A and B are shown apart, each in its own frame.
Chain A
Amino acid sequence: MFCYQCEQTTRAESGSGCATAKGVCGKDETTADLQDLLIYQLKGIGQYSMRLHALGKPDAAADAFVRHAMFTTLTNVNFSRARFVEMIAEAAKVRDRLRDAYEAATPGTPRLGGPAAFVPAAALPDLLQQANIASVRAGLDLVGEDVVGLRALVLYGLKGVAAYAHHADVLGQSRDEVGAGIAHALDLLASDPADIGVLLEESLALGRLNFKVMELLDAANTGTYGIPAPTQVRTTPVAGKAILVSGHDLLDLQRVLEAVKGTSINVYTHGELLPAHSYPNLRACPNLAGNYGSAWQNQQLEFAAFPGPIVMTSNCLIEPQPSYRNRIFTSGPVGWPGVRHIADGNFAQVVQAANALPGFAETAPEKTILVGFGRNAVLSVAGQVIEAVKSGAVKHFFLIGGCDGAAPGRNYYTDFAEKAPKDTVLLTLGCGKFRFNMEDHGDIGGIPRLLDVGQCNDSYSAIQIALALANAFQCGVNELPLSLVVSWFEQKAAAVLLTLLALGVRNVRLGPSLPAFLTPALIGVLVEKFGVQPITTAEADIAASLARSAA
């Protein structure tokens, strides 16, 4: 096993990465090796898929399989080796189908080699023997750390793109160009690229592709559930039977709400599903009672204390404790051995569990937080915001966004929000917001100082806000009184970072630590070419941001 795809990976002077029997996330060696093999097969599928796209003969089902399969390998998504064994068998069939289609369309073409020719073993022990070929560090001796690190950047960015694209898929939004872009990157990785320039260009191409994917996801979400609007969300429980839905997937939440329709069961959102309350078509469901708990890393305590079933619809899942293992369900790409998985969107047994479990005995005093400041809500008051900037009432905008996590260094983001001057506006998205969103940050002339843009999946909305402000001020995004303070944890954040770099957004402050897969030389490139800045302290970074703004 070797994995260094997330922020919490083991760090050591001698070299970072999880390389023991179990990763920090709880992923064991077998599962990690099976994930590597699956990714290797996806590269093989990408080889054929890229060529079929070029021939105008894409296989939409294969593209969707790739997106879903890549999503299962993100941090804290799927730990079920049984599911990976199934997917490896399925991937071989998909590859065969594409190979047949490609060879039928191009008679006489020599058969493709590399991952496209890989034959997975039938039995698990033999399969694990094959895993070395698929390691993310394969070829290190030949090409060195910098190339391996850049390949990892492309792969992890690609995983993030695939995850966002899968979220759009389930709501019926997909485009051939997304499948083609993902296939292009997989095909490149299948060729064991060693040219740093080519890999850097592919990283930026993925950033551009991700921007389109996020636009697609935005269209899927708003097209299905309406335009998010500012909404007060209850954060304290109401007496009665209860279901908790966590992760990011709005469709699964909708299905749970449909399953409890006509009952008195209260449905609560957890973590990254908080912004669901701002969508009119979800908010209208009377069973949607409020938000419970905080960010993913606190789930073991929060789920143990929740008196009903829990549905985990996407990342981030951590090892379910015995006290709630029977009443947690996974759906979509998520899995854990011995935890019930709902593959067909039928949440009837979750409702059955809710009826059998005690629910909340009492209604707690009401507390609320305000969410729903997507691009439409913010831009609807753009005139007011622009005036506030021109009058000096608003000196600066900070976008404090991204993932949360357990590392103590993440207190930086709480400090940042607390210490930002009162004449600055804080935009936030992702689950990193739980570090500071329960506090009252006040308002500036009626504009709340803390504007919750949504999930990390809503990064498109945040970028649109920045672009619209730049347009209004007739300047570039980098000239706006705006600083991006990004916390990363998993691979969707890597995709968003690539998008920001591809859009030419400079001076992104990145933390709490920099990706372990980036070597000092690669970090040097990010710093020099793209102006990426590692975080220091909240005070120093606030001061530096404001100084830049004043200059």
Chain B
Amino acid sequence: MEITLVTRDGERLRFPIAQSDVLAGAEAAGYFLPAMCHEGTCGQCQARVAKGSYEMGKHDPAMLPKSDPAAVLLCRCIPKEDLTVELPYNRAQVLHQKVPVRKAAITAMQPAWEGAVSLTLRLEPDAETGSAAEFAPGQYMELTPPGTDIRRAYSLANLPNWEGLLEFIIRIHKGGAFSTWLAEQAKVGDIMTVRGPLGAFVLDEMSTRPRCFVGGGCGLAPILSMLRHMGEFQDSNAVHLIFGANRECEIPPPAELESLRATLPQLNMSLAVVQPDEEWDGFHGTAPAALRQHLADSTEPVDVYACGPPRMLEVIEDLLRQRGRGDRLIAERI
């Protein structure tokens, strides 16, 4: 059997496949597609089968949009005949090499905003990869605390750099294994294992459309990285940021957001709070509702970059479909 992968920018990648899921078959052929759990639960390897029949192994149905019966998770998609699969990202996001696994030391830990910790690591130099922090803004790394087999994915909030620094914003979940370790045991100097960079939630820099970033909580981290990147490269695309929170105290400090404007003067922002105090003068409601309002007056197609829970992404997807302007949703589930 043969698999044909069609990337968003129209490139076709073909490879033979025997008794395996499409993701494993692609890796055997040297194509490393964005994926995380390999167990049908994270939704990272979502794609769409345009042609051919297949079986889906055990997976979490919540990770597939109900609106598209052809959507699959490639790690659970077993072909029964030749398949043509549409990938929701460009050829450039398909890697040809295995994901690096490296060591990194904690250099700083501090509260970011309520319920969130800012964690900074510095990569340990090694002969194979050196000491540079190389990634595409929007990508994530998998972190494993020392002496554990806990593996959690967190998006990078900073920019690629030659000092080897990796910055994350980590939301503390009570009782969560990683959160507990971070809150109770982690200290500066601890050596963690980091696997990455991973993920296809990256800017389409060839697009001239206005960009709208939608995120809430730690979903801001990859968006911060992308906005900082746009600032560094003096990107001239129109750009709007919608940050959603349940309460005002979950909003990042104004200085954090204002510093973005210093390098990205065209940046506009909407802060959406679901349960604000009485004197709140920002948007009252969810991030998707703020997006609806933001797009209400625009007829131009927009690239929406959204990072958040599956439910939020579904609402945004529906919203863009109803709008009917040919908008694109580039999304990361958390």
B247 smallest CB distance to A (angstroms): 36
In the assembly, what is the distance between CA of A299 and CA of B160, in Å? 22
Contact A358 B206 (CB under 8 A): no
Judge whether B127 and A323 touch: CB under 8 Å.
no
What is the bound-complex CA distance between A28 and B207, given in angstroms?
A: 9
Quick check: A361 and B127 within 8 Å, CB to CB? yes
Select B132's contact among A28, A81, A357, beta carbons within 8 Å: A357
Contact of A511 with B by CB under 8 A: no
CA distance A85 to B235 in the complex (A): 11
For the complex formed, measure the closest distance between the CB of A209 and the CB atoms of chain B, giving whole angstroms: 35
Chain A residue at minimum C-beta to C-beta distance from B208? A30
Residues of B within 8 A of A281 (CB): none
Contact of A81 among B126, B164, B208 (CB under 8 A): B208
Complex CA gap A524/B132 in Å reads 56
Instruction: Point out the residue from B129, B136, B162, B205 that lies within 8 Å of A337, measured CB to CB.
Output: B205
Give the nearest-CB partner of A324 in chain B. Answer: B134
Which B residues between 105 and 146 are near A, CB-CB below 8 angstroms? 126-132, 134-136
B97 touches A124 (CB 8 A): no
| Cα–Cα, bound, A353→B130 (Å) | 10
How close is A278's CB to chain B, nearest CB, in angstroms?
32
User: What's the nearest-Cβ distance from chain B to residue A455, in Å?
Assistant: 30
Question: How far does the alpha carbon of A325 sit from the alpha carbon of B92 in the complex, in Å?
Answer: 10
Residues of A within 8 A of B206 (CB): 28, 30, 337
Q: How far is the CA of A307 from the CA of B128 in the complex (A)?
A: 9
With beta carbons under 8 angstroms apart, the residue of A124, A128, A356 that contacts B162 is: A356
In angstroms, Cα B130 to Cα A358, docked, is 4
B interface footprint on A478-518 (CB within 8 Å = 1, 0 otherwise): 00000000000000000000000000000000000000000
Q: Does B293 contact A (CB under 8 A)?
A: no
Interface string of B64-98 (1 = CB under 8 A from A): 00000000000000000000000000001101110
Q: Which residues of A sit under 8 angstroms from B132, Cβ to Cβ?
A: 326-327, 353, 356-357
B280 at the interface (CB under 8 A from A): no
> What A residues does B10 contact at CB under 8 A?
22
B277 CB-CB contact with A under 8 Å: no
Docked pose: A418 CA to B95 CA in angstroms: 37
In the complex, what distance in Å separates the CA atom of A125 from the CA atom of B130? Answer: 43
Quick check: A349 and B236 within 8 Å, CB to CB?
no
Contact of A338 with B229 at beta-carbon distance under 8 Å, contacts A321-B92, A322-B136 already known: yes
B129 proximity list for chain A (CB < 8 A): 358
| A358 CB contacts on chain B under 8 angstroms | 126-130
Is A82 interfacial (CB 8 A cutoff)? yes
Nearest opposing residue in chain A for B230, CB measure: A338
A82 close to B162 (CB less than 8 A)? no
Name the A residues within 8 Å of B131 (CB-CB).
Answer: 356
Q: A353-B132, A361-B127 are in contact. Are A326 and B96 (CB under 8 A)?
A: no
Q: How far is the CA of A307 from the CA of B131 in the complex (A)?
A: 12
- The A contact surface, by secondary structure, is helix
Q: Nearest chain-B residue to A30 (Cβ)?
A: B208
Within 8 A of A (CB), among B132-172: 132, 134-136, 160, 162-164
Tell me the minimal C-beta distance from B62 to chain A in angstroms: 29
- Let me know if A82 and B235 touch, CB within 8 A: yes
CA distance A309 to B94 in the complex (A): 21
| Binary A-proximity of B218-254 (CB < 8 A = 1, otherwise 0) | 0000000000010001111000000000000000000
Tell me which residues from 353 to 383 in chain A have a Cβ below 8 Å from any Cβ of chain B.
353, 355-359, 361
Q: Which residues of A contact B163 (CB under 8 A)?
A: 356
Q: Smallest distance from the beta carbon of B97 to chain A beta carbons, Å?
A: 6
At the interface, yes or no: A304 with Cβ under 8 Å from chain B? yes
In Å, the complex CA distance between A337 and B236 comes to 11
Interface check A352, CB cutoff 8 A:
yes
Among B135, B206, B234, B300, the most chain A Cβ lie within 10 Å of the Cβ of B206
Chief secondary structure at chain B's binding surface: loop
Q: Does B203 contact A (CB under 8 A)?
A: yes
Q: Which residues of B contact A323 (CB under 8 A)?
A: 95-97
- Please name the residue on chain B nearest to A358 by beta carbon: B130
Assess whether B236 is in contact with A327, with CB atoms less than 8 Å apart.
no
Query: A19 to chain B: closest CB distance in Å?
Result: 15
Interface digits, B1-20 against A, CB 8 Å rule (1 contact, 0 not)? 00000000110000000000
- Using C-beta atoms within 8 Å of the partner chain, give the interface range for chain B: 20 to 34
Contact indicator A353/B162 (Cβ below 8 Å) = yes
Q: Which residues of A contact B235 (CB under 8 A)?
A: 82, 337
Report the Cα distance A356→B205, complex, angstroms. 26
How near does chain A come to B54, taking the closest CB pair, in angstroms? 28
Q: Would A85 and B95 count as touching, CB distance under 8 A?
A: no
Complex interface: chain A residues within 8 A of B300 (CB): 125
A326 vs B225: C-alpha distance in the bound complex, in angstroms? Answer: 14
A352 to B163, CA, bound (A): 9
* Nearest-Cβ distance from residue A70 to partner chain B, whole angstroms: 23
The answer to whether B162 and A355 have CB atoms under 8 Å apart is: yes
Q: Which residues of B contact A321 (CB under 8 A)?
A: 92, 96
In contact, B96 and A82 (Cβ under 8 angstroms): no
Residues of B within 8 A of A356 (CB): 130-132, 162-164
Q: Is A319 located at the chain interface by the 8 A CB criterion? A: yes
- Shortest A166–chain B CB gap in Å is 23
CA distance A355 to B130 in the complex (A): 8
A319 touching B127 in the complex, CB below 8 Å, given contacts A337-B233, A338-B229, A356-B162: no
Instruction: State whether A85 touches B205 (Cβ < 8 A).
Output: no
**Chain B residues with CB below 8 A from A128, complex form:** 208
Distance between Cα atoms of A194 and B232 in the complex (Å): 47
Contact A304 B208 (CB under 8 A): no
**Bound complex: CA A322 to CA B126 (Å):** 20
Chain A residues, CB < 8 A from B95: 322-323
Among B126, B136, B164, B236, contact of A82 (Cβ-Cβ < 8 Å): B236
| Residues of the A chain whose Cβ atoms lie less than 8 Å from the Cβ of B205 | 337-338
Report how far A359 CA is from B127 CA in the complex, Å.
8
B208 touches A326 (CB 8 A): no
Residues on the A chain within 8 Å of B234, using CB? 82
Q: Mark B162-191, 1 if CB is under 8 A from A, else 0.
A: 111000000000000000000000000000
Rounded to whole angstroms, the CA-CA distance of A490 and B96 in the bound complex is: 29
Partner of A85, one of B126, B164, B236: B236
Bound CA span A28–B10, Å: 13
Residues in A neighbouring B135, C-beta threshold 8 A: 326
Complexed CA–CA distance, A352 and B164 (Å): 12
Interface string of A255-272 (1 = CB under 8 A from B): 000000000000000000
CA distance A393 to B234 in the complex (A): 62
On chain B, the residues within 8 Å of A319 by CB distance are 92
Q: How far is the CA of A125 from the CA of B207 in the complex (A)?
A: 12
Task: Assess the B136–A325 pair: CB atoms within 8 A.
Answer: yes
Enumerate chain B residues within 8 angstroms of A357, measured Cβ to Cβ: 130, 132
How far does the alpha carbon of A81 sit from the alpha carbon of B95 in the complex, in Å?
26
Residues of B within 8 A of A349 (CB): 162
B128 touches A326 (CB 8 A): no
The reply to whether B203 and A338 contact each other, CB–CB distance below 8 Å, is yes
What residues of B have a CB within 8 angstroms of the CB of A22 in the complex?
Answer: 9-10
| Set of chain B residues within 8 Å of A304, measured between Cβ atoms | 96-97
Considering the chains assembled together, what is the distance between the CA atoms of A338 and B206 in angstroms?
Answer: 9
Q: Give the complex CA separation of A85 and B206 in angstroms.
A: 14
- Given A325-B92, A326-B136, A358-B130, 10 extra CB contacts under 8 A: A128-B208, A304-B96, A304-B97, A307-B130, A323-B95, A338-B233, A349-B162, A356-B130, A356-B162, A358-B126
Q: List 23 A-B contacts (CB under 8 A).
A: A22-B9, A125-B300, A304-B97, A319-B92, A322-B92, A322-B136, A323-B96, A323-B97, A326-B132, A326-B136, A326-B160, A337-B235, A338-B233, A352-B162, A353-B132, A353-B162, A356-B130, A356-B131, A356-B162, A356-B163, A357-B132, A358-B128, A358-B130
